[in-house]
Amino acid sequence: MKRILVTGGAGFLGSHLCDRLIEDGNDVLCVDNFFTGSKANIAHLISHPYFELLRHDVTIPLFVETDRIFNLACPASPIHYQHDPVQTTKTSVHGAINMLGLAKRVKARIFQASTSEVYGDPEVHPQHESYWGKVNPIGPRACYDEGKRCAETLFFDYQRQHNLDIKVVRIFNTYGPRMHPNDGRVVSNFIVQALKGQNITIYGNGQQTRSFCYVDDLIDGFVRMMNSGPEVTGPINMGNPGEFTMLDLAEKVLSCVGGKSKLTFHPLPIDDPKQRQPDITLAKEKLGWRPQVTLEDGLKETVNYFRNALNV
């Protein structure tokens, strides 16, 4: 049994990770300030003898004993991270510094949940880990993009300077149960609008592409990465390389939900990437990992979750 700290543990990804870690027989400390996380996501774990919940903001140092740290704390959807962009940057940068300091003190292995947003609006397709990205450092998305890029810098500097045992994963679009219904991400947007009989909002001409990974696949990748040897530091891309346009996704959601929602077209948000697809060669080679859940199967589970959550 390992003592494992999960920051952002009451969020969409964090709560699924806590489930998996408990299932694997670990002692889990879930830390969250509940800005975007929800107690409902981890309510079923509260009575578990090896689960503990702590309300805490990672921008403030934390002094606990732990063997491993998963650092997932940070709002990840544009609506949420642009709500308080200064705090978003602080969460990524100060949060990384505080968790790295904790890992250094207790000699813990530490995992950073980075993002495909470090690639910005990419000029290389699909995106591989050696690509440095094309990011606007002063745009409205920069608080998240550059905050996560700086966090990666800190992780690798702590490794070089303090010989810290680090793991860095770059997450591509992930979806599944427990997504926030109002987080502005395309999968939850389309599903919620379709379930409510509203028109489906398409930005631009709908030809921009994304790759969608089901949450269970991603969490399996996290665990494989954390359990890999010390020579595997990353960054490693994790996502589903299947590429879909926004029109493709809308069609699949409407097919799954039914109803008579129509598509409406709106201007593209500033700095919205036109293409996003992971090269997962490294994940396959180093971790033996690849996604197993098809978009159709994952959407069914996600639609069922929202149908129950929204009571529609």
What CATH code is carried by the domain that includes residue 18?
3.40.50.720
Q: Per the structure, how many domains does the chain have?
A: 1
Q: Phi-psi region for residue 163, left (φ > 0), alpha (ψ -120 to 50) or beta?
A: left
The pLDDT value given to residue 235: 98
Q: Look at residue 268 and tell me if it is in a domain.
A: no
Q: Look at residue 190 and tell me if it is in a domain.
A: no
pTM: 0.94
The pLDDT value given to residue 76: 81
Q: Look at residue 200 and tell me if it is in a domain.
A: no
Q: Look at residue 62 and tell me if it is in a domain.
A: yes
Partners of 175 in the β-ladder:
214
Whether the pLDDT of residue 81 is over 90: the answer is: no
Pick from 213, 203, 273, 166: nearest CA to 12: 213
Q: Look at residue 133 and tell me if it is in a domain.
A: yes
Q: How far is 95 from 89, CA to CA, in rounded Å?
A: 9
Mean pLDDT for 196-206 is 93
Q: Look at residue 28 and tell me if it is in a domain.
A: yes
Q: What is the DSSP string of 56-79?
A: --TTS------SEEEE--S--SHH
Q: What is the DSSP letter of 294?
A: -
Q: Look at residue 43 and tell me if it is in a domain.
A: yes
Query: Which of 50, 119, 131, 144 does the annotation list as catalytic?
Result: 144
Do residues 221 and 283 make contact, with C-beta atoms less than 8 angstroms apart? yes
Whether the pLDDT of residue 77 is over 80: the answer is: no
pLDDT (tens digit, 9 = 90+) per residue, 18-33? 999 999 999 999 999 9
Percent of the chain with pLDDT strictly greater than 90: 90
The pLDDT value given to residue 312: 77
Q: What is the DSSP string of 140-194?
A: TTHHHHHHHHHHHHHHHHHHHHH---EEEEEE--EE-TT--TTS--HHHHHHHHH
pLDDT (tens digit, 9 = 90+) per residue, 150-187? 999 999 999 999 999 999 999 999 999 999 988 888 99
Which residues constitute the domain of residue 101?
A: 3-175+213-240+278-291
Q: How far is 56 from 17, CA to CA, in rounded Å?
A: 18
The pLDDT value given to residue 272: 78
Whether the pLDDT of residue 309 is over 90: the answer is: yes
pLDDT (tens digit, 9 = 90+) per residue, 235-289? 999 999 999 999 999 999 999 998 889 999 999 888 778 888 999 999 999 999 9
175 annotated active-site: no
Beta carbons within 8 Å of 38's beta carbon, 6+ residues apart: 10, 11, 178, 180
Q: Look at residue 226 and tell me if it is in a domain.
A: yes
Beta carbons within 8 Å of 145's beta carbon, 6+ residues apart: 115, 117, 118, 120, 135, 136
Q: How far is 222 from 32, CA to CA, in rounded Å?
A: 19
User: Which one has a higher pLDDT value, 242 or 78?
Assistant: 242
